[in-house]
Chains A and B, each alone.
Chain A
Amino acid sequence: MKVSYFPGCTLKNKAKQLDIYARKCAEVLGITLEEIEAWQCCGGVFTTSRDEVATKLSSVRALQEAKEKEQVLVSVCSACHNVIKQTNHAMQNDTEFADRVNRYNGVEYDGSTKVYHYLEMLRDLVGMEKIKEKVVNPLKGEKIAAYYGCLLLRPNSVMQMDDPENPTIIEDIIKAMGGEPVIYPYRNECCGGYVTMDDPKFAQKKSENVVVSAKNNGASRIITACPLCKYNLDKQASDIPVVYLTELLAEALGVKEDGDEQ
């Protein structure tokens, strides 16, 4: 099965592991990620920009390309996914916005492409049974803390992925890989996000809460799907590794090799 894939800027430099292992794992699980041609930044860093239409054009072009190929659009970065799904929702429901975007792009796009986060792809297109089947290095009961962050599941009315207050999607995948998920209260709290540029102390406190809570609940590793979350958590996590969920998956599926990151 082939799906359209929107990697996003960070995955091409700071977060290469997220991208590389996403592709490798998908192949093992029978899905080819076809990168959108000449994609541009999703608009994630412009979320506060006032000209909302301009920042959404790139997302809509990616959605349009997936539509032409009759594929679903998959992304793995939490921020890209949030922007793309929200934009697609707006294209379906906000006719004025959709009109303006379509006039810019010169193409009629109606919001009909299905947008999947990589996690949703694993759950809905691959299935936990298939993952279990393909695992060659099971995690042998290792205690893994899933870190969702704030924007992977929110706003729920648009994301429609899992219950934002008590999610299970990553925990189910951890179980499929043979690990033991750690349920800790801060798993769906904010890491501090971009506030780290403005008020590093505040962001530090937020991510410290997460790391400490995960450790106190017995986790040996924290996994996340978001490069910014990893950036913030890493700074507080001297004695507990924070890895991308695709990296852990690659480990379990036996496709992680040293040197991949370069």
Chain B
Amino acid sequence: MQRIGVFVCWCGSNIAGTVDVQAVSEALKNEPGVVFSANYQYMCSQAGQNMIIDAVKEHNLTGIVVCSCSPRMHEATFRKTAATAGLNPYMVEIANIREQCSWVHKDMLTGTEKAIILGKAAVAKVNLNTPLVAGETPVTKRALVIGGGIAGIQTALDIAEAGFPVDIVETKPTIGGKMAQLDKTFPTLDCAACILTPKMVDVAQNENIRIFSYSEVTEVKGFVGNFDVTVKKKARYVNEDICTGCGACVEKCPMKKVPNEFNLGMDNRSAIYIPFAQAVPKVATIDPNHCNMLKNGRCGVCSKVCAAGAIDYKQQDEYIQEKYGAIVVATGFNPISMDKFDEYAYNQSKDVITSLEFERLTNAAGPTAGKLLRPSDLKHPHTIVFVQCVGSRCASCAEKGKEYCSKICCMYTAKHAMLTRDKYPDTEVYVFYIDVRTPGKSFDEFYRRAVEEYGVHYIKGMVGKVFPEGDKLKVQASDLLNNKQLHIDADLVVLAAAIEPDKSARPLATMLTASMDTNDFFTEAHPKLRPVESPTAGVFLSGTCQGPKDIPETVSQASAAAAKVVSLLVKDKLKGNPCVASSDELMCNGCSSCERVCPYGAITYEDKEFRMPNRTVAIRRVAKVNPAVCQGCGCCTVVCPSGAMDLRGFANRQIIAEVDAICK
């Protein structure tokens, strides 16, 4: 029989506000096996933990139930406490009476009743707990960074700097991401390319970094310290090792009518292309959807002009297998589609553009060589209307926009407005806003300069409608402070489109078993205290894949993620999770059901000899679990028809005991 101690946490008023903690500890005192029961304001504090240690010693406890917050939060804390007190850490059970009880109930009576039931279930489980010992696994000393924007670049550089090899996987033909498309960066107005491209070169030259460009992650197996990853290197029909990036092929390619995605389709590129002058790696890529040679075998010009002989029309996709100790997600963002925002006439007029398109229009390497000309007739616009929050903070129109604030738009719009007024003082600039949000170092000063020194017309209110009439864009808007409706004849309208996570994020999260929020941003292990780690061990988050961020914040988070990766990779061995599946070979009939559902490939089969009656021997095929690979998800225990498969720490009889305790 166990000797169980129950510790009920108030969590200040988080639990005690809705749950009568005294009643809970009293009620649980009478449960089978319980020899001690108490409650305390903060069980996780040093004093609370000492209370547990003292009780273990004083009452010779063999098991502990802590009724507190989610095990996600403090299970590890209390397991350490138990170990300090000389108990096996797996003799601790958490009853979650905060997230699953006090926070979701308003009524004290029902809240208390439920907390008692949850406590009883945990007691019933501890009664059947057995000490478990964690095994150790080695750590592969190599990191994978998925995404080669400024976030991925910074993370990779920092990990490499610490001496560990890093691979960057980038879907585009070059690294650089969105930052490479920007013109100037707020609040200091230094040119994006000038500060980014040296970093890109650093990446290319760093001995510890490999770049897999034009590639994507297709499969992830394994676990923290030991990920097995498959990377698909898409055929670019150019031998990367030989191509010198001279650009002769690009110049001579006869197919020049391909929309240039780097300039957001505002000009054209050739079918063989290098995205931009400072691309890394600087090698050409053939776009198979537009190349005549690949489509119908009629051309071959690039192959003829390539002095290095790098063109290879027969190149195939290549799959690379590599082992990694840690994975960093840096998949970034995209502006949302403007298709559902017909009130702004984005699809009806070329002169309604997004802010990212505006960046390209003002960039010296952009389609207009940095001259601000409107796309329809290449005339200089004299009146520009900027609309902020297009699709952001859009709770009432959730079917087309996002509820969250995209965070970067206020600042880049101020930048666009200021730069326009600086370069073209004859241009009237209007900015429509819901609020101007400028928290950040030197951010508000920057915005004030736009208003006070550069005379940008900031108008609180939203634009209701834009429509083309003649060569003007008619803008209807409200000026909330003056309580007036405004009609502006604009030449150019710039929409600050909300940003959303890249579309590759969701399938990647599935591969990594990493969690996401409803907006497809990756969830951090703790929103305040573990902001760069995913709840999935060994997976780290860098940049806007976790939430909207500007460049300074992205770079900080990227370095923070790198620090976390380094502190993982310096370890030689990691303690594993002992709560893994195991099969009772006497009951196993070798049906393969478990192997088929195992998401980690942890189950194999072996033929084993069994002694049978009358000194005979039979050979039977039985399941075998690799405890280093098993993640303890429990799928196999559910499908096993003979009941041979069981999960340590979550054995079938423990679960049933919990259910019985709840239903009693």
Q: How far is the CB of A10 from chain B (nearest CB, A)?
A: 28
* B343–A165 touching, CB < 8 Å: yes
With contact pairs A163-B342, A165-B341, A166-B342 given, residues A157 and B467 touching in the complex (Cβ less than 8 Å) = no
How far apart are the CA atoms of A156 and B340 in the complex, in Å? 12
How far, in whole Å, are A259 and B120 apart by their CA atoms in the complex?
82
Closest to B474 in A: A185
Given contacts A156-B399, A157-B399, contact A189 B342 (CB under 8 A): no
CB-defined contacts of B467 to chain A, threshold 8 Å:
185
Q: Is B252 an interface residue (CB 8 A)?
A: no
* Bound Cα distance A189, B397 (Å): 18
Q: Does B210 contact A (CB under 8 A)?
A: no
A-contacting residues, B318-353, CB 8 Å: 340-343
B342 touches A185 (CB 8 A): no
B465→A185 contact, CB < 8 A: yes
Q: Is B241 in contact with chain A by the CB < 8 A criterion?
A: no
User: Would you mind naming 16 contact pairs between A and B with Cβ atoms under 8 Å apart?
Assistant: A156-B397, A156-B399, A157-B396, A157-B397, A157-B399, A163-B340, A163-B342, A165-B341, A165-B342, A165-B343, A166-B342, A185-B465, A185-B467, A185-B469, A185-B474, A189-B465
Residues in B neighbouring A185, C-beta threshold 8 A: 465, 467, 469, 474
B residues less than 8 Å from A157 (CB atoms): 396-397, 399
Taking chain A's interface residues, is the majority helix, strand, or loop, or is none over half, making it mixed?
loop
Cα–Cα distance between A157 and B474 once the two chains are bound (Å):
27
Minimum CB–CB distance for A170 against chain B, Å:
16
**How near does chain A come to B467, taking the closest CB pair, in angstroms?**
4
Report the bound CA distance from A163 to B343 in whole Å: 10
Chain A, 179-204, contact with B by CB distance < 8 Å: what is the 0/1 string?
Answer: 00000010001000000000000000
Contacts of B469 in A (CB 8 A): 185
- Looking at A157, A185, A189, the one whose CB has the most chain B CB atoms below 10 A away is A185
Which secondary structure dominates where chain B touches chain A? Answer: mixed
Of residues 207 through 223 on chain A, the ones whose CB sits less than 8 Å from some CB of chain B are: none
Residue of B nearest to A167 (CB): B342
Besides A156-B399, A157-B396, A189-B465, 7 new A-B residue pairs in contact (Cβ under 8 A), listed by A number: A157-B397, A157-B399, A163-B340, A163-B342, A165-B342, A166-B342, A185-B469
Determine the distance from Cα of A157 to Cα of B396 in the docked complex, in whole angstroms. Answer: 9
- Shortest CB distance A226–B (Å): 20
Cβ contacts under 8 Å, B397 to chain A: 156-157
Chain A residues with CB under 8 Å of B396's CB are 157
CA distance A218 to B159 in the complex (A): 66
A166–B396 Cα gap in the complex (Å)? 18
Q: Which residues of A contact B465 (CB under 8 A)?
A: 185, 189
- Report the bound CA distance from A156 to B394 in whole Å: 14
| CA of A114 to CA of B536, assembled, Å | 46
Q: Which residues of A contact B343 (CB under 8 A)?
A: 165
Closest Cβ–Cβ distance, residue B461 to chain A (whole Å): 17
Task: Kindly provide the distance from the CB of A80 to the nearest chain B CB, expressed in whole angstroms.
Answer: 24
Cα A220 to Cα B363 with chains together (Å): 47
* Interfacial chain A residues near B342, Cβ < 8 Å: 163, 165-166
The 5 closest A-B CB pairs, nearest first, are A185-B467, A166-B342, A165-B342, A165-B343, A163-B342
Q: How far is the CB of A45 from chain B (nearest CB, A)?
A: 26
User: Which chain A positions have C-beta within 8 A of B340?
Assistant: 163
Distance A177 CA – B474 CA, assembled complex (angstroms): 32
B75-120 at interface with A (beta carbon < 8 Å): none
Distance to closest chain A CB from B490 (angstroms): 14
Complex-state Cα separation, A156 to B474, whole angstroms? 24
Q: How far is the CB of A232 from chain B (nearest CB, A)?
A: 18
Closest beta carbon of chain A to B543's beta carbon, Å: 33
Binary contact readout B607-631 vs A (1 if CB under 8 angstroms, 0 otherwise): 0000000000000000000000000
Determine the distance from Cα of A185 to Cα of B345 in the docked complex, in whole angstroms: 10
Contacts of B399 in A (CB 8 A): 156-157
Q: Determine the residue in chain A with the shortest Cβ distance to B343.
A: A165
CA distance A166 to B342 in the complex (A): 6
Q: Determine which residue in A156, A157, A163, A165 has the highest number of CB atoms from chain B within 10 A of its CB, and name it.
A: A165
A166: B residues at CB distance < 8 A: 342
On chain B, the residues within 8 Å of A156 by CB distance are 397, 399
Cα of A156 to Cα of B397 in the assembled complex, Å: 9
Question: How long is the Cα–Cα vector from A166 to B466 in the complex, in angstroms?
Answer: 12
Min Cβ gap B493→A in Å is: 14
* B459-477 Cβ-contact flags toward A at 8 Å (1 or 0): 0000001010100001000
Q: Give Cα A185–Cα B465 distance, bound, in whole angstroms.
A: 9
Q: What CA separation (Å) do A185 and B396 show in the bound complex?
A: 23
* Complex CA–CA separation, A156 to B343 (angstroms): 13
CB nearest to A186 among chain B residues: B467
- In angstroms, how far is the closest chain B Cβ from the Cβ of A169? 14
Tell me, rounded to whole Å, the shortest Cβ–Cβ distance linking B9 to chain A: 35
- Residues of B near A163 (CB, < 8 A) are 340, 342
Rounded to whole Å, the gap between the CB of B457 and the closest CB of chain A is: 24
CB distance from A171 to the nearest CB of B (A): 14
A157 to B394, CA, bound (A): 13
The CA of A102 and the CA of B397, in the complex, are separated in Å by 30
Give the shortest distance, in Å, between B153 (CB) and chain A (any CB): 39
Bound-state Cα–Cα, A114 to B341, Å: 28
Q: How far is the CB of B336 from chain A (nearest CB, A)?
A: 15
Min CB–CB distance B175 → chain A (angstroms): 38
Tell me the complex Cα distance, A156–B399, Å. Answer: 9
Q: Given the complex of chains A and B, what is the CA–CA distance between A156 and B396 in angstroms?
A: 10
Complex: A156 Cα to B341 Cα, angstroms: 13
| B contact residues around A165 at 8 Å (CB) | 341-343
Assembly CA distance A165 to B476 (angstroms): 14
Task: Determine the residue in chain A with the shortest Cβ distance to B467.
Answer: A185
Residue-wise, chain B 435-465 has the 8 Å CB interface mask toward A (1 for contact) of 0000000000000000000000000000001
Complex CA–CA separation, A231 to B37 (angstroms): 77
Closest to B466 in A: A185
Q: CB-nearest residue of chain A relative to B476?
A: A189
A257 and B134 CA atoms in complex are apart in Å by 90
**CB proximity of A20 to chain B, nearest CB, Å:** 35
- Residue of chain B at shortest CB distance from A185: B467
Q: Which residue of chain A has its CB nearest to the CB of B468?
A: A185
A181–B474 alpha-carbon span in the complex (Å): 22
Interface centre among B342, B396, B399, B474 (most CB of A within 10 A): B342
What is the bound-complex CA distance between A165 and B341, given in angstroms?
7
Docked Cα-Cα span, A189 to B485, in Å, equals 14
What is the chain B residue whose CB lies nearest that of A163?
B342
A165 to B467, CA, bound (A): 11
Closest to B464 in A: A189
Residue of A nearest to B341 (CB): A165
Residues of chain A within 8 A (CB-CB) of B474 are 185
Assembled-state Cα–Cα distance A157/B398 (Å): 9
A26 → B minimal CB distance (Å): 31
Give chain A nearest CB distance to B396 CB in angstroms.
8
Determine the distance from Cα of A165 to Cα of B399 in the docked complex, in whole angstroms: 13
Q: How far is the CA of A157 from the CA of B401 in the complex (A)?
A: 13
Chain A nearest Cβ from B375, distance in angstroms: 20
Residue of A nearest to B340 (CB): A163
Q: Mark B397-430, 1 if CB is under 8 A from A, else 0.
A: 1010000000000000000000000000000000
The chain A residue with its CB closest to the CB of B398 is A157
Rounded to whole angstroms, the CA-CA distance of A163 and B397 in the bound complex is: 12
Q: Bound state CA distance, A106 and B530, in angstroms?
A: 56
Chain B residue at minimum C-beta to C-beta distance from A166: B342
Q: 1/0 per position for A146-167, CB-CB distance to B under 8 A?
A: 0000000000110000010110
* Shortest Cβ gap from A112 to chain B (Å): 23
B483 to chain A, nearest CB (A): 14
A185 vs B468: C-alpha distance in the bound complex, in angstroms? Answer: 8
- Closest chain-B Cβ to A155's Cβ sits at a distance in Å of 8
Bound Cα distance A157, B397 (Å): 8
Type the 1/0 row for A115-149, where 1 means its CB is closer than 8 Å to any CB of B: 00000000000000000000000000000000000
Distance of B549 from chain A, by nearest CB (Å): 30
